[in-house]
Amino acid sequence: MVRELRSVAELRAACGDDDLPVWAAQNLTGGARAWALGEAVVGAAPRVSRRDRVGVWGDPADAAELVRHALAELGPSYRPFGEAGLMAEVAARIDGLEVAGGFSWMSLPGGPGTTDADGEVEWLGGEAEGEVSALLAEHAPTSYAVPGAPGVRRWAGTRVRGRLAAVAADAWSAPSVGFLAGVATVRELRGRGLAERVCRWVTRRLVAAHGRAALMVDDDNPAAIGVYERLGYRRMRVLATHVV
């Protein structure tokens, strides 16, 4: 029998505290919901990293039943996603659910071992939002995180000779999963380790505040994946699905 999970603590217990469904359910408010069945759990919330998402975990047969239930409750705009092998099986079991694409989910349960570059990275004030927006528009126009978007909390950055050179955001963080997004570096300043410096700084603060950190990255971006792996993030390939 499908059981609705009413609290973040109940959700964490049901899925063994797996970070993907826990993050997808955010704080279980504002339309977010979660369910469990047998050896599977799904957590869902609207407009998480710019999409209505369902994070899927567990046994494929049970997970398929939960995904059917979640989509019936929430509507076809929601995109179930999870570990690639699991979601391939789930999609094969549900008529009208197809794979939309793949990417990587990366998570970090503890802080990176290197030290901060004190004074070189800082949280940016509201007066810097125009600079952040301009940097993203020119050098990372596909970024899901932009200043002022729902769920994008704050930006960190570093400067080179007074110019904002690299940024990253604390965006769509859940109570027990901090989320790193919006990583970008001015094109002509790439290769100097600026993004890694900012990501390390933000990651430390996300882990301190939430206990762990996570992010999404395209599989065709090996430079970014390398940065995150050096910081200690662990990579899992995932598939996103959608109703057609």
pLDDT at 230 over 80: yes
Kindly report, residue by residue over 9-27, the tens digit of the pLDDT.
Answer: 999 999 999 999 999 999 9
| pLDDT tens sequence across 32-77 | 999 999 999 999 999 999 999 999 999 999 999 999 999 999 999 9
Beta-carbon contacts of residue 85 (< 8 Å; ≥ 6 apart): none
Of all residues in the chain, the percent with pLDDT exceeding 70 is 96
Return the number of other C-beta atoms located less than 10 Å from residue 151's C-beta: 19
Cα(148)–Cα(168) distance, integer angstroms = 14
The pTM assigned to this predicted structure is: 0.94
What pLDDT is attached to residue 119?
63
pLDDT at 239: 98
First to last CA, the chain: 27
Number of Cβ within a 10 Å radius of residue 128: 18
113 has a pLDDT exceeding 70: no
**Residue 110 banded pLDDT, cuts 50, 70, 90:** confident
pLDDT score of 114 more than 70: no
Question: At what angle are helices 194-210 and 222-230 packed, to 10 degrees?
Answer: 50
Whole-number pLDDT of residue 116: 54
Three-class SS state of 125? coil
Partners of 53 in beta bridges: 45, 79
pLDDT tens string 187-227: 999 999 999 999 999 999 999 999 999 999 999 999 999 99
Query: Rounded to whole angstroms, how far apart are CA atoms 105 and 58?
Result: 16
Task: Summarize pLDDT for 72-108 with one digit per residue, the tens.
Answer: 999 999 999 999 999 999 999 999 999 999 999 999 9
To 5 degrees, how large is the angle CA 157–CA 129–CA 155?
40
Parallel, antiparallel, or unpaired: how do β-strands 33-37 and 3-4 relate? antiparallel
Number of Cβ within a 10 Å radius of residue 137: 12
Residue limits of CATH 3.40.630.30 in the chain:
122-211
**Backbone phi, then psi, for 203, in 5-degree steps?**
-60, -45
137-164 tens-digit pLDDT: 999 999 999 999 999 999 999 999 999 9
* Topology classification of domain 122-211: Aminopeptidase (3.40.630)
Residue 112: closest CA among 202, 190, 23: 202
How distant is the alpha carbon of residue 181 from its chain centre?
Answer: 7
How many residues does this entry show for the chain?
A: 244
Edge-to-edge strand ranges of the sheet holding 178-185: 3-4, 33-37, 40-48, 51-58, 79-83, 234-243, 97-108, 213-217, 178-185, 163-171, 152-160, 122-123
Is residue 143 helix, strand or coil? coil
